[in-house]
Chains A and B, each alone.
Chain A
Amino acid sequence: MTTRRDLLKGAAAGVAAGLLGPSLLTKTALAQGTVEPAADGVWKITGSHWGAIRARVDRGKVAEVVPFEDDQNPTDMYKGIHGLIYNPSRIKYPMARVDWLKNRKNSDRTQRGDNRFVRITWDQALDLFYEELERVQTEYGPWALYAGHTGWRQTGQFHSCTNHMNRAVSMHGNYVKKVADYSTGAGQTMLPYTLGSTEVYSQGTSWPLILDNAKVIVFWANDPKKNLQVGWTCETHGSMKYLDELRDKVAAGEIRVISVDPVKTKTANHVGAEHLYLNPQTDVPFMLGIAHTLYNEGLYDKDFIGTYTLGFDDFIQYVQGKADDGIEKTPEWAANICGVDADTIRAFARLMAANRTQLVYGWALQRQQHGEQPYWMAAVLASMLGQIGLPGGGISYSHHYSGVGVPTSGAAMPGAFPLNLDLGMYPEHDSENFNGASRVIPVARWVDCLLNPGEQINHNGNKVTFPDIKMCVFTGCNPFHHHQDHNRMREAFRKLETVVTVDYSWNATCRHSDLVLPACTQFERNDIDGYGAYSNSGVLAMHQLVDPLFQSKTDFEIFTELTHRFGRNKEYTRDMDEGQWLRFLYGECKKANEGKFDMPEFDQFWEEGIVRFPEGKPWVRHADFRKDPELNALGTPSGFIEITSRRIEGYGYDDCGPYPKWFEKAERSHGGPGSDKHPLWLQSCHPDQRLHSQMCESDEYRETYAVQGREPIYMSPEDAAARGIADGDVVRVFNDRGQLLAGARVSDNYPQGVVRIHEGAWYGPVDASIGALDTYGDPNTLTMDVGTSQLAQATSANTCLVEMEKFEGPLPPVTSFGGPTEV
């Protein structure tokens, strides 16, 4: 009789070794039971968009993160870093979409975003990546590859993923690139015509001079208290103390701060600002009403207009109703549109004219249809006030960004790994034949391009012909966060034969890709960075905290191995490794600062973690131009401020004329087009607790602001009550473009008819169907994908109307965070 024990013995003896595999564990050199005594670990320093941190690393793990002691106003967001590193959504291995792996360019693309993936080795992954580059260059040409779509990479000058991807792919072949960005597309295109530079990324007048000289500060759609928490390079938060000083001066009655905004902003609440509400998207009528008052009451600065500007007369004819539409832009006319009564408009104009007034504009204004106009009109207002170039006066478009306004030290910052090919280098496939299409497209029209190859559009005085793109490469960039109208975008993705994405966490772009390569986070590599993007406060060492998790690699390794496949890796790396590159970049920086700023040798710097530079001298934007407008001419065609632009007039666009004008929007709340069907204006401004979409996946930190696991939608008590919505409810937000779930936050900061969902909320539809309900609350599920105008062709995200209702059904799980899943 067979006993149970015999059976088991049989099992032990009979199973083929090949099915058992080698043991996953081996004996170490240490004797059994010898355990290294627990230590508290070591402290390391590194940086991030959220600021510099010190991290305690204990037995190969980040145990504790604290703000760097130089940072006197650290953002709360450093608390999300641990959850970002050890996130379950990390991409652990190279993965390929199964149907693409089987059928490659003939794969079923309707499955994108809803298809399963399979693990492949790094060698397989990079071979496939290379084969696809090769196939697209030979089968089609450079016009079929789009690889220049980049975003807010992780910080670090050497490992900047944008540079690595661009340089590596450029070594293989030419490709379609983008121009402009999603933050400031209209502004950076418009303002060179008016003020001679993009302004949006320019250093602004130093805060100490503003605080000492301004009597009125106008934050116009601008929320620096919220947005200064993050920076392009490692953020110092050096500007936060000035907002505190401003708060004190407001309390003491020394400065009046007026926040012109539909919403009572974080900054307004912080500094105790007066809130001047206006209807969304109606800033231009409001400004025209102000211009009308300044002109007709003789309050404008005639001398400034005469000396420093061109084209005022043409513009004022429009204001007076003697040109163009023939409507006089009286405050009464403006009041009907913008919701601010005529007397308030007049009083506001008089207040600004009577005082040293600093105008500070945010970027949300130009992220709407005809977004060029409010920026242009703002420059005209500032010109009429005549204070451009004076301390505490004039205009800024950047004081909410990356520490603008903190005086610049003047020190040189470390350079980066090269984005472009070195002089004399050429791609493997050097064809310049773009098949009659453009090799550069305006970034926000990228989905138009995928959907309408061959179509010709106007852009900034040129004609752009859309190439027929077959393959995209993304790195450190999540278009399923930043592009508008995700349902339209999903249709566009179905046209692509191949999508390669390099990232560290499974986001919607990864899920819509064919090949997903795991990069490590910035906390898993050594690097250096400038401390303070505009203040140039120092050079920061970015110590690697832990080894790359799972099989993730640095972008440098990934693209070195890619270029190795076509024999260009030594050129790509210049035959230097990470350590040599860091020494090189530091050494070049030290050389540039020689005789001006002392910097220690690299080893000492690396040990100490930072080189600090003294704060620079306060400075006034445009002061040199004011001093001598001919010697220090602006970069406009005439060298002067162009209130009327002959060049733009020459383009003949019907949506951007020779001077700033009011154009009705395709959608506008408060009685505007479309408001009868979808009455709520959805603003999707930069988040308070993320950098765009970065850190949304950090679960514990997200729970500090999420509502029932959903992204908050902020609304007025009136709008909530009218729909039976209570704070904490889940609501369905919808329009004809899409639908999403979000968590209601009811607040007096919001007026009736205005709701806000911060951009950067991760997209997670319930399934792959077009129009599927987004389970977490990405506002770009709802936004409109149209260009601002034929001039900039920029994003119009803030031209968006929605309706909402309390969600009563069973709540679907959030699908935004995590890897591919077949629903």
Chain B
Amino acid sequence: MTNPVKEGADKAVACRWWASVLFSEIDEKQLDLYGKGELGPLLEGLPHLIPEEDADLVEALRQDIESWKKVTSARLILATDYASLFLGHGREGPLPYASYYYSEGRRLFAKPHDDMVERLNKAGLQINAQGQEPADHLAIMVSYLALLYEESHSAAYIATFITEGILSWLPQFTKHCNNVTTEFQFYQLVLQILQAFLQKEAEEIRGA
């Protein structure tokens, strides 16, 4: 049985990486770091955070990152993939907001947004102004989860947040993204690994 609180720092690191990847495009410096294998330690650790049967996702991710070296404009391709998945397909495409998958008219800034704002307020947190994204953006939710691990919040609270806050809609978003054609599969793999992690976390905490 894994104790999420003990391993909180490690999970926090993974969550911070997910948040970073999901919040904005990979820049030249980051591309360089990926090229130098700087994600290696996390790629080594990720299989242990997800169910064994999903471990091949991490290998696929590693290979995808490796394939970036074969093209000359990887940053632009990745930015294009990012835009296709996170920046504006609207009704028939994916959007990384909980409200989009919750409200009947698929309005943004709906109840999941308000719930997230309340969580942040209670924790005395505010969103950094850059990007002006609403609180129910997946990256902001995962960033909040990172803080929960770092600050050793109760397992029950973490499990409730994961289940009600994120897993209530993430599978729909991931599925939505899997249906979009992109040049690389990086973002779809990142989402699938995140989803596998959260599902395992929720199950383990409930079982503890």
Contacts and interface: CB of A to CB of B under 8 A. Distances in A.
B14 A11 contact: yes
Interface in B80-105: 80, 82-84, 87-93, 95, 97, 100, 104-105
Contacts of A90: 108
Contacts, number: 212
22 contacts: A4-B48, A8-B11, A8-B49, A10-B44, A12-B10, A13-B41, A14-B41, A21-B19, A21-B20, A21-B23, A23-B128, A23-B143, A24-B127, A25-B144, A90-B108, A92-B88, A549-B132, A550-B132, A699-B91, A701-B105, A817-B91, A818-B91
Contact of A7 (B20, B44, B88, B139): B44
A716 to B, nearest CB: 32
B48 A86 contact: no
Contacts of A821: 84, 89, 92-93, 180
A791 to B, nearest CB: 42
A19 B43 CA distance: 13
A30 B44 contact: no
A5 interface: yes
B177 to A, nearest CB: 13
Closest 7 CB pairs of A and B: A818-B90, A14-B41, A700-B105, A819-B88, A11-B45, A8-B10, A21-B20
A743 to B, nearest CB: 16
A700 B125 contact: no
Contact of A25 (B25, B40, B83, B126): B126
A93 B42 contact: no
A32 interface: yes
A9 B45 CA distance: 8
A813 B49 CA distance: 37
B169 interface: no
Nearest to B17: A20
Nearest to B108: A86
A86 B125 CA distance: 24
A728 B92 CA distance: 22
Interface stretch (B115-123, B156-164, B187-195, B197-205): B115-123
Interface residue range, chain B: 35 or more
Contact of A116 (B83, B92, B131): B83
Nearest to A709: B91
B120 A119 contact: no
A116 B20 contact: no
Contacts of B132: 549-551
Contact of B117 (A14, A59, A92): A59
Contact of A9 (B10, B82, B118, B181): B10
Interface in A680-715: 698-701, 703
Interface stretch (A33-41, A365-373, A777-785): A33-41
Contact of B16 (A7, A21, A101): A21
Interface of B: 6-7, 9-14, 16-17, 19-20, 23-25, 29-30, 33-34, 38-42, 44-46, 48-49, 73, 76, 79-80, 82-84, 87-93, 95, 97, 100, 104-110, 114, 117-118, 120-128, 131-133, 139-140, 143-144, 146-147, 180-181
A61 B132 CA distance: 14
A96 to B, nearest CB: 10
Contact of A819 (B49, B87, B143): B87
Nearest to A812: B92
A599 B8 CA distance: 64
B100 to A, nearest CB: 6
A574 interface: no
Interface residues of A, number: 68
A19 B33 contact: yes
A92 B24 CA distance: 13
Among B91, B100, B124, B132, chain A packs the most CB atoms within 10 A around the CB of B91
B88 A506 contact: yes
A7 B42 CA distance: 9
B107 to A, nearest CB: 4
A98 interface: yes
Contacts of A28: 124-126
B181 A822 contact: yes
B127 A25 contact: yes
Contacts of A59: 114, 117
A19 B124 contact: no
Given A61-B109, A95-B88, A7 B83 contact: no
Nearest to B140: A24
A66 interface: no
A88 B107 contact: yes
Given A24-B143, A28-B126, A11 B105 contact: no
Interface string A86-121: 111111110100100110000000000000111100
Given A15-B39, A16-B33, A550-B132, A822 B16 contact: no
A703 B90 contact: no
A389 interface: no
B18 to A, nearest CB: 10
Contacts of B40: 14
Interface of A: 4-5, 7-16, 18-28, 30-36, 59, 61, 82-83, 86-93, 95, 98, 101-102, 116-119, 506, 549-551, 698-701, 703, 813-815, 817-822
A506 B104 contact: no
A219 B127 CA distance: 57
Given A11-B45, A32-B123, 18 more contacts: A4-B48, A5-B7, A10-B41, A12-B9, A15-B38, A19-B39, A21-B23, A24-B128, A34-B124, A88-B100, A95-B83, A117-B80, A117-B87, A699-B105, A700-B107, A703-B105, A817-B91, A819-B93
Contacts of A33: 122-124
A7 B45 contact: yes
Nearest to B34: A19
Contacts of A31: 124
A36 B120 CA distance: 12
A8 B90 contact: no
Contacts of B73: 102
A59 B116 CA distance: 13
B79 A26 contact: no
A120 to B, nearest CB: 9
B107 A83 contact: yes
A91 B143 contact: no
B76 A102 contact: yes
B87 A98 contact: no
Nearest to B15: A20
Contacts of A93: 87-88
A513 B92 CA distance: 20
Contacts of A116: 80, 83-84
Contacts of B118: 35
A32 B126 CA distance: 11
B54 to A, nearest CB: 16
Contacts of A15: 13, 17, 38-39, 41-42
A116 B87 CA distance: 11
A815 B92 contact: yes
A26 B124 CA distance: 8
B151 to A, nearest CB: 10
A30 B124 contact: yes
A23 B146 contact: yes
B126 A24 contact: no
Contacts of B126: 25-28
Contact of B44 (A11, A88, A118, A550): A11
A87 to B, nearest CB: 7
A550 B76 CA distance: 22
A27 B122 contact: no
Given A24-B143, A33-B122, A820 B88 contact: yes
A20 B42 CA distance: 11
A85 to B, nearest CB: 8
B121 A36 contact: yes
A648 to B, nearest CB: 48
A18 B39 CA distance: 10
A15 B45 CA distance: 11
A92 B87 contact: yes
Contacts of A11: 10, 13-14, 41-42, 44-46
